[in-house]
Amino acid sequence: MPHLESDAVEAGRLYRTTGAIASHKLRSPVYRAWERSHLQGANPLALQAEQLSRRDTEHLLQRNNYLIDVVRPYFRMLSQAAGQERHAIMLGDRQAILLDVIGDEQTVNGPEPFPQPGSLLSEAVAGANGIGTPLAEENYVEIISAEHFIEGFQPFICQGIPLRNDKQEIVGVLSISLRRADARKRLKEILRCASHAIEAEFAIANLETDVHRVLASQPDEYEPLEELRQDLIQVHQAARLKLEVISRMVAVNRWEYAAQLLKQAEQSIEIFRRRAHIWRNLASLETGSVQSLPLIESINDVIEILSTEVAIRKIEIVANWKEEITVLADPQTLLRNILRCFFQAFELAGQNGTIELSINKVQNAQFAQVNFMASSAINIDHSQLTPYSLCLSIAKTKL
């Protein structure tokens, strides 16, 4: 028996006989989980999870229908990655009530009891476990065999990670339970990547809402924002396809290739997150407070989300600046103004054209003027460059 597991077994024996939690025999997150479980009255001798009534479970599933639908494709990928291992993939709501579970037939529907939708898996009821503890810790947590607080869960090794919406609010928890210890490492990174991809799904749904809002109030700006949204969704779809391939590779132990794809998928999701944040600012109808902003960073943010548009038009963007300048502006208004200047310059530059960007300080450096100089591929006379420009107040102090 591994040292960590034997310590947890001994900690469990001491707790059941004396009521004391042996902190030196438990990993820090597990000790905290046991302490919470103890204080909230969880029963360490329980053999299975408590369950809502059938009617309450039906109502619960109806209320969480959207969350279940979003997560279901990733359930299939994770189960596929587990391959022939005995496993269960679980989704819980933010109160740690089980919403969905899939896995191999023997684990989920075999003779030994396994939590089903409606099971109460908060630490207060079920002790430390792969659903309740990640929610309590608000982070990824692994609970290995005897580290489970109640006896009924101890045959399993469970990993769980909270799911957050784009406001960083926890809306649920995703978890994998396995029987064999050596299988958990290869599934850990896929679980993390899948959770981030699910969170990107939440962001996509909100982007759709934003598009309708922009269309209703600012129809002139709808088309370019919709094109940027489609670019974003393609980035996410690329990551999702990689996850699908990864799950097949892991199932047949082609881990080296899967690890390469996993890295690419994680990078795609990170790109999506960053671009989605910029997109939300562009699509926002609100005006924020004026604040000190890094001008070049703001311009680069817009260039980043225009990368697909730039590639399609085969436009070259040339930036001429040496140092960051801090300006006073409302973030949403600044980004939208930069975007408008880019699209105006795109039209003048045309296919294979060039846009030269420069920043000039004017009037004793109280203002910064950003110039977008567009030249078409057939116009090589720089005296004919057509400028668009923004004039912004420079902040007195650097960020």
SS (H, E, C) the chain: CCHHHHHHHHHHHHHHHHCCCCHHHCCHHHHHHHHHHHHCCCCCCCCCCEECCHHHHHHHHHHCHHHHHHHHHHHHHHHHHHCCCCEEEEEEECCCEEEEEEECHHHHHCCCCCCCCCEECCHHHHCCCCCHHHHHHCCCEEEEHHHCCCHHHCCCEEEEEEEECCCCCEEEEEEEEECCHHHHHHHHHHHHHHHHHHHHHHHHHHHHHHHHHHHHHCHHHHHHHHHHHHHHHHHHHHHHHHHHHHHHHHHCCCHHHHHHHHHHHHHHHHHHHHHHHHHHHHHCCCCCCCEEEEHHHHHHHHHHHCHHHHHHHCCEEEEECCCCCEEEECHHHHHHHHHHHHHHHHHHHCCCCEEEEEEEEECCCCEEEEEEEEECCCCCCHHHCEEEEEEEEECCCCC
Asked if 115 and 101 count as a contact pair (C-beta separation under 8 A), the reply is yes
**Confidence class for position 254, pLDDT limits 50, 70, 90:** confident
The predicted pLDDT at position 382 comes to 55
More confident call, 128 vs 249: 128
Asked if 375 and 382 count as a contact pair (C-beta separation under 8 A), the reply is yes
pTM score over 0.75: yes
**Confidence class for position 380, pLDDT limits 50, 70, 90:** low
The predicted pLDDT at position 385 comes to 59
The predicted pLDDT at position 2 comes to 65
Task: Let me know the angle formed at the C-alpha of 321 by 316 and 327, rounded to the nearest 5 degrees.
Answer: 115
pLDDT beyond 70 at 244:
yes
The tens digit of pLDDT for each residue in 37-89 reads: 999 999 999 988 999 999 999 999 999 999 999 999 999 999 999 988 899 99
More confident call, 383 vs 317: 317
Q: At what angle do helices 28-39 and 3-18 cross, to 10 degrees?
A: 20
Dihedral of the alpha carbons of 125, 129, 131, 136, in degrees to the nearest 10: 80
